[in-house]
Amino acid sequence: SQQGEEDPQALSIQEGENATMNCSYKTSINNLQWYRQNSGRGLVHLILIRSNEREKHSGRLRVTLDTSKKSSSLLITASRAADTASYFCATLLIQGAQKLVFGQGTRLTINP
């Protein structure tokens, strides 16, 4: 069953603006990860936040995690045309079996 749902499904903004994507999930998790997928390519890991963390930064990326609401957000500041891609959240659950389950993804388009 699908764990994560992302919102919005598509986002189009102007270069230089900030982009915010949200992810909700259903079960308890060990960590939540964000990945980027450029068109026709594989997934690249961006950032990981553990279940006991609330916020994490990496360069222009800021991730928040609210385990009480079972939600996370990814903020990309000062967007660039090269940020155009699909972004996926993924939740890791280690409970006997190790399972990494993806959300539906947000298609981000940065207009020059």
Partner 1 sequence: DTAVSQTPKYLVTQMGNDKSIKCEQNLGHDTMYWYKQDSKKFLKIMFSYNNKELIINETVPNRFSPKSPDKAHLNLHINSLELGDSAVYFCASAPSGRWDTEAFFGQGTRLTVV
Interface residue list for partner 1 (CB under 8 A)? 2, 30-31, 33, 35, 37, 41-45, 48, 50-51, 86, 88, 90, 92, 94, 97-102, 104-105, 107
> 82 vs 97, which CB is nearer to partner 1?
97
87 in Cβ contact with 74 (< 8 Å): yes
* Start-end of H helices in the chain: none
- CA proximity to 10, closest of 75, 69, 84: 84
- Report the nearest approach of partner 1 to the CB of residue 31 (Å): 5
- Report the nearest approach of partner 1 to the CB of residue 1 (Å): 9
- Report the nearest approach of partner 1 to the CB of residue 20 (Å): 19
> 75 vs 92, which CB is nearer to partner 1?
92
- Please classify residue 54 by burial: count the beta carbons closer than 10 Å to its beta carbon, then call 0-12 exposed, 13-18 middle and 19+ buried: exposed
Q: CA–CA separation, 112 vs 101, rounded Å?
A: 33
> 18 vs 95, which CB is nearer to partner 1?
95
